[in-house]
Amino acid sequence: MDFLLKSSGLLLLVSLFTLINAGVASAAAPVNQPNIVFIFSDDHAYQAISAYGDSRNLIETPNIDRIGREGVRFNRCVVPNSICGPSRATVLTGKYSHLNGFYNNNTSRFDGSQTTVAKLLQKEGYQTAVIGKWHLVSDPTGFDEWNILPGQGDYYNPQMIRNGQRTKQEGYITDLITDFSLEWLRNRDKTRPFLLMSQHKAPHRTWEPAIRHLGHNKDRIYPEPTTLFDNYEGRGKAESDQQMTIAKTMTPIDLKLIAPNDLSPEQLKAWNTYYDPRNKAFHQAKLEGDDLVRWKYQRYMHDYLGCIKAVDESVGKILEYLELEGLSENTIVVYSADQGFYLGEHGWFDKRWIFEESLRAPLLVRWPKVAKPGCVDQHLVSNLDFAETFLEAAGVPVPTEMQGRSLVPILKGQVPADWRTSFYYQYFEYPVPHHVRPHHGVVTDRFKLVHFDTPDVEEWELFDLKTDPSELRNVYADPTHTPVVTELKNELSRLRTELKVPPLIPKDAYGARTPPQLR
């Protein structure tokens, strides 16, 4: 009897010990923590993803589309500061530029000591890697493996920096980033969850397609945007006095009238075989005025969309690997870009503005058994929300200092009743490279209130997206919109207080050697 009691007691102790250990293990590593594959391109306009249904039907992107078809496509993913480096800092920190300290691409340097989503996941047992474009000046922190481009990087035969060691690569950058991403996936510790940030240079300026994609469009003539020849009538000085037009700002290198200097002899031969006869015909035509702008637009579309062809192929390879390795069911796949981009709308290329083509980034998310396939979401979401989303999905607490909100409820089809209905935007970089004036404003589902405030321009603008989706008419002074202006100014003030926006902008925020005297 004593033996049985002792045995029972021992079994009870063993059982308790097992349960306690199981509880500790569960707290440290929740069951079925999802892997996260974050595919991030640079300057990829939502208009150039076929899932978004642009009326021009610019390109087919079947692999990117697949993420949305098997998950959720977000139609209103907006960014707090529409420019490359600041957007990347926001993704990592879940904070606006004025709190993460990265305002511009010219002089800002990312403070790697601050809290990031990579560090928090790494601390909880995730393997972490960032491969491709980094563009934050300082070395990555919070990553077990990093293999990044120095600065903007080159399209062909680029240098890369792998864990601090500079290397020289041969090949096309999108393919190299894909290959290095797959290499890391194959060699990872397969007993642990992972975060892979696979970040493409493409389709950033100067829009150099892979050799195999030269002629991808078979000399197609693309439909022009209705605002290609916008004269900026009805808006302020800021819109007309900028330097990002297809007509005036594109260079011979942008237009492939000069070949890149990083091509190998074999690559250069193929490059010239494609471009030389077309450039010869262009020079002979002696185009002027609107005809010259039209030619530039067509060349721009060929090159820009050619870059996206390789990005879409890359997405397909990543998805195929996840499927073959049996990882698809427990892996969140996100495709996004650092902001939107102009494809001739308003005569522009580039980004920066609070206006729609610049403000809106593509966002497609696949999460099997959580996100219902084929959903289209219209809520105001942001790259400000990415860090919080990854953390909640992994069962990791979200720091209170982060300023976004997790998208997990929306992915589950359970939109919180208090989800945001307005969004704060602020752009800083001025006057170079594109002379887009600093501005801030508030965005809702229907309206945008914008404030430009420089020594030569102090203007308010209001746009009604319902009646004016192309944002061609400033209705700020229209008496019928006075109640809207009052409401939005109050909301702008509330958001600035809530987000801890300083009343004065630091001089180094503009990224100019001689900071302008802005108010």
Residue 397 pLDDT more than 80? yes
Looking at the whole model, is its pTM more than 0.85? yes
Residue 278 in 3-state DSSP? helix
SS3 at position 421:
coil
Domains of the chain (ranges, CATH numbers): 33-209+296-416 (3.40.720.10)
Q: Tokens for 116, please give them.
A: 């990031």
517 by Cβ neighbours in 10 Å (0-12 / 13-18 / 19+) ranks as exposed
Find residue 197's DSSP bridge partners.
38, 130
Q: Please state the rounded mean pLDDT for residues 195-210.
A: 98
Cis amide prior to 206 (ω within 30 degrees): yes
Q: How far apart are CA 341 and CA 315, in angstroms?
A: 20
Picking from 141, 125, 123, 132, the residue whose alpha carbon sits closest to that of residue 169 is 132
Question: At 16, is the pLDDT very low, low, confident or very high (cuts 50, 70, 90)?
Answer: very low
Answer whether 496's CB lies under 8 Å from 442's CB: no
Helices (H), 158-264: 173-187, 237-240
Per-residue pLDDT tens over the stretch 126-137: 999 999 999 999
Please, are residues 237 and 456 in contact by the beta-carbon 8 Å criterion?
A: yes
456 pLDDT band, cuts 50/70/90, is: confident
Lookup: tokens for 434: 């594109």
Which residue type does 18 have? T
- How far is the first Cα of the chain from the last one, in angstroms, to the nearest whole number? 87
C-alpha span between 256 and 260 (Å, rounded): 8
Contact 343, 57 (CB under 8 A): no
Q: Which of 438, 474, 440 is nearest to 456 (CA)?
A: 438
**What's residue 32's pLDDT?**
83
In this predicted structure, what is the pLDDT of residue 513?
59
User: Would you state the pLDDT for residue 512?
Assistant: 80
The pLDDT of residue 505 is 87
Q: Are 431 and 419 in contact (CB under 8 A)?
A: no
Distances (CA, A) of 161 to 40, 139, 146, 151, 185: 18, 9, 8, 10, 19
Confidence of residue 18 (pLDDT cuts 50, 70, 90): very low
Q: How far apart are CA 211 and CA 144, in angstroms?
A: 33
Between CA 437 and CA 442 the distance in angstroms is 16
Provide mean pLDDT across the span 245-266: 98
Question: Is the CB of residue 435 less than 8 Å from the CB of residue 394?
Answer: no
Q: What is the pLDDT of residue 72?
A: 98
Q: Angle between the 173-187 and 289-324 helix axes, to the nearest 10 degrees?
A: 20
Confidence of residue 12 (pLDDT cuts 50, 70, 90): very low
Under DSSP, is residue 31 helix (H, G, I), strand (E, B) or coil? Answer: coil
Largest CA distance in the chain: 107
Is residue 377 within 8 Å of residue 75, measured between CB atoms?
yes
Q: Are 17 and 175 in contact (CB under 8 A)?
A: no
Mean pLDDT of 476-498: 98
Please give the share of the chain, as a percent, with pLDDT higher than 90: 90
CB distance 487 to 473 below 8 Å: no
* Higher per-residue confidence, 508 vs 297: 297
The pLDDT value recorded for residue 157 is 98
514 pLDDT more than 80: no
Structure-block tokens of residue 54: 């642009």
CA distance 50 to 66: 10
How confident is the model over 236-249, as a mean pLDDT? 97
Distance CA 120, CA 79 (A): 23
pLDDT at 475: 98
